[in-house]
Amino acid sequence: MLAHDSAGPSDGPVVVLVHGWPLNRTIWSEVSPRLAASGFRVLAPDLPGFGESPPLLGPSPRVEAYAAELAAFLEGFGPHRFAVAGHSFGGYVALALAEMSPHLVGGLGLIASRTGADNDTVRRGRLETIEKVRAGGAKVLLPGLAEKLVGARGAVPWRPRAGRIIEQARAEGVIAGLAAMAARPDRTAVFDKFSGLRLVVHGSADALIPVAEAAHPSTGRPPIRAILPDVGHMPMWESPEATADAVVTWSKALRS
**Cβ-proximal residues to 69 (8 Å cutoff; 6+ apart), any chain:** 2, 47, 48, 56
> What does the pLDDT average to over 177-183?
98
What confidence tier does 59 reach under pLDDT thresholds 50, 70, 90?
Answer: confident
pLDDT for the residue 60:
82
pLDDT for the residue 57:
87
Query: Of 48, 110, 101, 106, whose CA–CA distance to 75 is shortest?
Result: 101
**Cβ-proximal residues to 248 (8 Å cutoff; 6+ apart), any chain:** 34, 35, 38, 40
> What does the pLDDT average to over 148-159?
95
Decide: 110 and 85 in contact? Cβ < 8 Å. yes
pLDDT for the residue 79:
78
The model's pLDDT over 203-213, given as tens digits with 9 standing for 90+, comes to 999 999 999 99
Q: What is the mean pLDDT of the chain?
A: 96
CA 211 – CA 232 distance, rounded (Å): 9
Of 27-31, 77-81, 205-209, give the lowest mean pLDDT range.
77-81
Percentage of the chain exceeding pLDDT 70: 100
Higher pLDDT, 255 or 188: 188
Q: Kindly report whether the global pTM for this prediction surpasses the value 0.95.
A: yes
What confidence tier does 78 reach under pLDDT thresholds 50, 70, 90?
Answer: confident
Any idea where the domains of the chain sit in the sequence? 4-117+184-255
What confidence tier does 10 reach under pLDDT thresholds 50, 70, 90?
Answer: very high
> What does the pLDDT average to over 114-143?
97
pLDDT of 155 over the 80 cut: yes
> What does the pLDDT average to over 28-40?
97
Name the amino acid, one letter, at 219.
Answer: T
Decide: 250 and 168 in contact? Cβ < 8 Å. no
CA 127 – CA 55 distance, rounded (Å): 19
The burial of 243, by beta-carbon neighbours within 10 Å (0-12 exposed, 13-18 middle, 19 or more buried), is given as: buried
| HSE-CB for 134 with a 13 A CA cutoff | 11
**Cβ-proximal residues to 78 (8 Å cutoff; 6+ apart), any chain:** none
Is domain 4-117+184-255 classified as CATH 3.30.420.40?
no
pLDDT of 80 over the 90 cut: no
CA 223 – CA 216 distance, rounded (Å): 8
